[in-house]
Amino acid sequence: MLVLLFNTVEDALTKLNIIKEQLLNLRERYGIIREKLKINADIEEKLAKLGFQPSHQVITVQAIPHALNIHITPHSMWLLSKLNAIDGNINYVVGEIDKVSKYLSGIKDRNASVMIMIDYTSKKTKLVIMP
């Protein structure tokens, strides 16, 4: 859930545009990673069809105060599905920011405080305008 509080409508419009630009930049970066993972996922799928099962490796690093285990799994398909879910959430939030910005731009009282709650898991958005 994303909860945003703003002192004024103008502040909300400005900061929502900044947040939207950052999310679009993040989506672009994830898109590059997803394209690379698609190649790995295709190779994993072909290897699985041939009967090869990728192995799970654990690297133990001695650290203070205890040992640290790093798990390496060649499961690009799993990671790709996680990135697709994140991409869907980013798309939803960007769409809701567009809707809220459009609504806020039509408000006459520019000194009103604004609270926005965007719940991307249940796909609900609430906008509260406080005089």
Residue 44, pLDDT score? 77
pLDDT, one tens digit per residue, over 78-121 is 788 888 999 999 999 999 999 999 999 998 888 899 999 999 99
Q: For the chain, what are the domain ranges?
A: 2-130
pLDDT band at 71 (very low <50, low <70, confident <90, very high): low
Residue 103, pLDDT score? 94
Task: Determine if the pTM surpasses 0.85.
Answer: no
User: By the 8 A CB rule, do 73 and 44 touch?
Assistant: no
